[in-house]
């Protein structure tokens, strides 16, 4: 029981870190979006995962030949698919803001990201009752996410009226991008599931169980970083703006991006460890809780950074109600585990 509760606690901490990661981005000034996002991605999704893996998994590069291409290729492919959603995440964040972007993307990924891993649970341990109970809790969580998303949409309308400015003409496109990215982002969890043989081999070569999943992350996340790195590099090169990295308070901007990258890999390592601690249903139970906590943390920081300034009444009520419903769903999932 204590081990299971510890696994849930790790998921909660991991989600809190994940939902906080982009909050410091608002403090990155004088850099254009492509510079900030590109530098952050290079640190968070490429350099840090490989650095952490080399530090925590002995003989890391020997793990993959033993696992074989039938494991390595799907793991990397799911990582790449997640990486495409990551590129869309960066575009959506720039259009609709932190709260709404995380609300829709994380919400759209809850059900698929939780239920698809059930296909990898042995049939003898995957009863209909378990599946329905998990699906019911996921459904409740989606209701909470929907309430928060509606609240964010009302917030955008209210703020537009309050400051007498037109709504961003790209706003609806931003919403559509969020939905597509949310569905694609479930590949993050699937990469962890199909890559479990890699973690087992990492343990055999000397990695501690807590860090064994790092051998999966560096492969899947490192591959997933490539689309965003390519797009940012392409845009900066076309604009002949490489000198932009040296403009203004470049040291502060770079430090903030590195700090965000360190937070992200910390949360990811904790999530990977929690899934292994939770056992057979780890990825099924852990994923929706992880996503929900990330959203709630994003809402909190959106509030702190005044994304909800001038907002009163119904949007706030819906927001608080949505958070309460998500907490209820987390309790139900934790009870199942």
Cα(136)–Cα(140) distance, integer angstroms: 6
Residue-range definition of the domain harbouring residue 275? 2-336
Spans of the chain, pLDDT less than 50: 1, 165
What lies within 8 Å, CB to CB, of 287 at 6+ separation is: 110, 113, 114, 117, 189
181 φ, ψ (degrees, to nearest 5): -65, -35
Q: What is the pLDDT of residues 168-214, one digit of tens each?
A: 677 778 878 887 888 888 899 999 999 999 999 999 999 999 999 99
> Is there a contact between 225 and 46 (Cβ–Cβ < 8 Å)?
yes
Query: 259 burial class (0-12, 13-18, 19+ CB within 10 angstroms)?
Result: middle
Q: Which two tokens stand for residue 70?
A: 């039938």
Q: Which two tokens stand for residue 270?
A: 């904790």
CB atoms within 10 A of CB 133: 15
Q: Is the dihedral of CA 265, 268, 272, 273 positive or negative?
A: positive
Domain total of the chain: 1
Rounded to a whole number of angstroms, the CA Rg of the chain reads 20
Cα(93)–Cα(272) distance, integer angstroms: 25
- SS3 letters for 87-148? HHHHHHHHHHCHHHHHHHHHHHHHHHHHHHHHHHCCHHHCCHHHHHHHHHHHHHHHHHHHHH
What size, in residues, is the chain? 337
């Amino acid at each position: 029981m204590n081990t299971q509760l510890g696994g849930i606690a790790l998921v909660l901490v991991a989600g809190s870190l994940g939902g906080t990661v982009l909050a410091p981005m608002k403090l990155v000034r004088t850099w254009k979006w492509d510079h900030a996002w590109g530098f952050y991605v290079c640190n968070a999704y490429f350099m840090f995962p490989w650095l952490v893996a080399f530090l925590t998994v002995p003989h890391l590069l020997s793990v993959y030949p033993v696992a074989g291409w039938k494991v390595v290729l799907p793991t990397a492919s799911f990582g790449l698919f997640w990486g495409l959603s990551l590129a869309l995440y960066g575009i959506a964040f720039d259009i609709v803001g932190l709260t709404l972007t995380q609300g829709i993307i994380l919400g759209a990924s809850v059900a698929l990201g939780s239920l698809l891993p059930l296909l990898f649970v042995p049939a003898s341990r995957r009863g209909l009752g378990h599946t329905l109970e998990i699906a019911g809790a996921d459904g409740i969580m989606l209701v909470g996410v929907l309430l928060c998303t509606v609240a964010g949409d009302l917030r955008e309308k209210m703020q537009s009226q309050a400051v007498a400015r037109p709504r961003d003409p790209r706003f609806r496109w931003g919403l559509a991008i969020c939905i597509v990215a949310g569905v694609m982002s479930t590949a993050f969890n699937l990469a962890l599931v199909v890559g479990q043989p890699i973690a087992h081999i990492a343990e055999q070569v000397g990695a501690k169980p807590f860090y064994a999943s790092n051998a999966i992350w560096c492969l899947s996340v490192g591959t997933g970083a490539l689309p965003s790195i390519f797009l940012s590099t392409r845009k900066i090169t076309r604009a002949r703006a490489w000198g932009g990295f040296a403009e203004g308070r470049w040291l502060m901007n770079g430090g903030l991006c590195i700090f965000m990258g360190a937070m992200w890999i910390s949360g990811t390592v904790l999530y990977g460890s929690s899934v292994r601690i939770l056992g057979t249903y780890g990825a099924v139970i852990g994923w929706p809780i992880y996503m929900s906590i990330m959203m709630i943390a994003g809402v909190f920081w959106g509030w702190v950074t005044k994304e909800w300034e001038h907002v009163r009444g119904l949007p706030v009520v819906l927001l608080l109600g949505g958070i309460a419903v998500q907490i209820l769903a987390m309790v139900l999932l934790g009870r199942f585990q």
